[in-house]
């Protein structure tokens, strides 16, 4: 009897232990274990974080307008500055032995003294305005355009008129409308007209107030001395400003 009780207690204990693993129902089957395949082995390169990648520097964006489109402005056109023309001046008598006065009788001009026959040349490049090849002066006659005897007037490229008179000769081919260069021979020093029988060149600077006939202006309206002194030394002093000022203030009336 004691042995039978012992076996019966063990049987009950075994049944209880088996039933304690259920999920609620004493007669439900135990769950089937699930197995998961392990992940495949990967190389270290495949697991490199994105931040470890070599950065790529983007190229500079093209200029854009406010609308976001690429600028289509045309290139700026550069216009070259005009080249300033250099005016050359020559002393009007080509001789080693010359002299001239700082003043002149009655009006602003000068007398350039040199031997008769010395070359008279163009002060600057320009166009011949007037030529007198005949000495029409009559001694004792009233002052007038014949006082100069043989003469040439030149309109320089600088806009100034240059006048020389009392010539003994006017060069062949020096006619009205002919273009000449600075230093080109126009004639020769003489004593025609009202020269008091003294070899010299009467020299006047003026604006071209009239094509012909304005002899009181043509004979000279500004003092030539300082310009002649510059040209004699190879200088470039220009009478343009002074002549223009005289024209504005006098309206071409002597």
- Asked if residue 153 lies in contact with residue 130, where contact means CB atoms within 8 angstroms, the answer is yes
Question: For position 159, what pLDDT does the model report?
Answer: 97
Question: For position 172, what pLDDT does the model report?
Answer: 97
SS3 percent helix, strand, coil of the chain, rounded to 5, is 20, 20, 60
Question: For position 54, what pLDDT does the model report?
Answer: 47
Question: For position 230, what pLDDT does the model report?
Answer: 97
Question: For position 45, what pLDDT does the model report?
Answer: 46
For residue 31, give every residue at least 6 positions away whose Cβ sits within 8 Å of its Cβ, in sequence order, or none: 23
Question: For position 254, what pLDDT does the model report?
Answer: 84
Mean pLDDT calculated for residue range 89-104: 94
Question: For position 19, what pLDDT does the model report?
Answer: 43
What structural domains does the chain harbor?
Answer: 99-250 (2.70.70.10)
Burial 37-57 (b: 16+ CB within 10 A, else e): eeeeeeeeeeeeeeeeeeeee
Residue 46 — pLDDT band, cuts 50, 70, 90? very low
Q: Is the pLDDT of residue 69 over 70?
A: no
For residue 181, give every residue at least 6 positions away whose Cβ sits within 8 Å of its Cβ, in sequence order, or none: 122, 125
User: What is the residue-wise DSSP string for 68-105?
Assistant: SSBP-PPPPPPPPPPPPPPPP---SB--SS-EE-S--S
Q: Which two tokens stand for residue 119?
A: 């070359």
**Which tens digit of pLDDT belongs to each residue from 168-209?**
999 999 999 999 999 999 999 999 999 999 999 999 999 999
Percentage with pLDDT > 90 across the chain: 59
Separation CA 103–CA 66 (nearest Å): 73
Whole-model pTM: value is: 0.68
**Which tens digit of pLDDT belongs to each residue from 137-175?**
999 999 999 999 999 999 999 999 999 999 999 999 999
Mean pLDDT calculated for residue range 4-10: 44
Separation CA 166–CA 112 (nearest Å): 11
């Amino acid at each position: 009897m004691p042995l039978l009780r012992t076996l019966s207690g063990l049987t009950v204990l075994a049944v209880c232990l088996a039933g304690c693993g259920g999920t609620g129902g004493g007669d439900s089957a135990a769950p089937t274990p699930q197995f998961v395949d392990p992940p495949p082995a990967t190389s270290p390169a495949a697991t490199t974080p994105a931040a470890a990648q070599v950065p790529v520097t983007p190229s500079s964006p093209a200029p854009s307008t406010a609308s976001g489109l690429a600028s289509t402005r045309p290139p700026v056109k550069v216009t070259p500055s005009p080249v300033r023309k250099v005016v050359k001046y020559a002393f009007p008598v080509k001789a080693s032995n010359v002299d001239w006065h700082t003043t002149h009788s009655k009006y602003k001009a000068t007398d350039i003294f040199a031997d008769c026959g010395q070359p008279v040349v163009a002060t600057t490049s320009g166009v011949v305005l007037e030529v007198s090849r005949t000495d029409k002066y009559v001694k004792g006659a009233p002052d007038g355009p014949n006082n100069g005897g043989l003469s040439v007037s030149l309109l320089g490229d600088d806009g100034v008129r240059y006048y020389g008179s009392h010539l003994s000769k006017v060069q062949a081919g020096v006619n009205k409308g002919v273009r000449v260069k600075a230093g080109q021979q126009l004639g020769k020093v003489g004593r025609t007209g009202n020269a008091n029988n003294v070899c010299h060149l009467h020299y006047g600077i003026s604006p071209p107030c009239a094509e012909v006939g304005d002899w009181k202006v043509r004979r000279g309206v500004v003092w030539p001395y300082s310009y002649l002194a510059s040209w004699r030394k190879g200088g470039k002093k220009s009478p343009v400003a002074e002549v223009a000022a005289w024209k504005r203030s006098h309206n071409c009336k002597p």
